[in-house]
């Protein structure tokens, strides 16, 4: 059976992956977003951008700043961000509500421009790297990798197309966040049968 130390039962009586019980912000994110299939070019561009900004920081920091990020980046509309110029970089560097890192801001703009060049769109490209569903759900955090052959291939494919801040570890975090893989542990109340992922969120 699964390792109960990796699961925590909250005040609501529901068992969650332990990280999902650490703060109310994480609980909401864990229950309603993480591991659920997400499609759509702008929606996936947002997640790709936020994962890049998270590099070197806690995801909780990014999660709490997400409303400010959405406001600053025009709701992550790819066409809009791709048109940003130096004045927008200066504006973003002055915005205390987001992570003010020039390299990451410039990467977000470059990635929007790269996404516009994709013939089939960003969503189709990212999902083309999604692995098949596992035969069994992970039973502990020890069974959850930091990167995989698929996330390594995803990072290579994105870099080849001009994307920045997209290493294999960031790629796997993106896969987890957008339901390309579902790493909710066995016993977690969110966990659905592993085969249920395919075909959802289209």
pLDDT digit string, tens, across residues 171-197: 999 999 999 999 999 999 998 654 444
Q: Is 46 a catalytic residue?
A: no
Residue 33 annotated in active site: no
Token pair 């069974």: residue: 143
Name residues whose C-beta falls within 8 Å of residue 126's C-beta, 6 or more positions apart in sequence: 44, 48, 154, 174, 178, 180
Kindly state whether residue 122 falls inside one of the protein's structural domains. Answer: yes
Over residues 42-71, the mean pLDDT reads 96
Residue 99 inside a domain? The answer is: yes
Asked if residue 186 is part of any domain, the answer here is: no
Residue 71 included in any domain:
yes
What's the token pair of residue 137?
């759900």
- Looking at the domain assignment, is residue 26 inside a domain? no
Query: With bands split at pLDDT 50, 70 and 90, how would you rate the model's confidence at 133?
Result: confident
Catalytic residue status for 172: no
**Residue 21, marked binder:** no
164's CB contacts (< 8 A; 6+ apart) are 52, 106, 107, 110, 111
Is 17 within any annotated ligand binding site? Answer: yes
pTM for the full predicted model: 0.91
**Binding site annotation covers 184?**
yes
Q: What's residue 135's pLDDT?
A: 84
**Which is the catalytic residue, given 34, 45, 51, 129?**
51
| Count of structural domains, the chain | 1
Tell me the CATH number at 162. 1.10.340.30
Q: Which domain holds residue 82?
A: 38-181
Q: What is the pLDDT of residue 192?
A: 67
Q: What is the pLDDT of residues 34-52, one digit of tens each?
A: 999 999 999 999 999 999 9
| Residue of 2, 59, 106, 139 with catalytic role | 59
């Amino acid at each position: 059976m699964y390792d109960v130390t990796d699961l925590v039962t909250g005040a609501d009586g529901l068992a969650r992956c332990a990280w999902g019980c650490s703060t109310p912000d994480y609980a909401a994110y864990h229950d309603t977003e993480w591991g659920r299939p997400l499609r759509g070019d702008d929606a996936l561009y947002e997640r790709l951008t936020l994962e890049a900004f998270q590099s070197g920081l806690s995801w909780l920091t990014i999660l709490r700043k997400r409303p400010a990020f959405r406001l600053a980046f025009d709701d992550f509309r790819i066409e809009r961000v791709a048109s940003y110029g130096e004045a927008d970089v200066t504006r973003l560097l002055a915005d205390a509500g987001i992570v003010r890192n020039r390299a990451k801001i410039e990467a977000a703009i470059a990635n929007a421009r790269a996404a516009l060049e994709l013939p089939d769109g960003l969503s189709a490209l990212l999902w083309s790297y999604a692995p098949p569903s596992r035969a069994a759900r992970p039973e502990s955090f020890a069974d959850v990798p930091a990167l995989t052959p698929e996330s390594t291939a995803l990072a290579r494919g994105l870099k080849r197309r001009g994307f920045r801040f997209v290493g294999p570890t960031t790629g796997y975090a993106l896969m987890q966040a957008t339901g390309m893989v579902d790493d909710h542990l066995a016993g977690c109340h969110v966990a659905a049968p592993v085969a249920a992922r395919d075909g959802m969120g289209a």
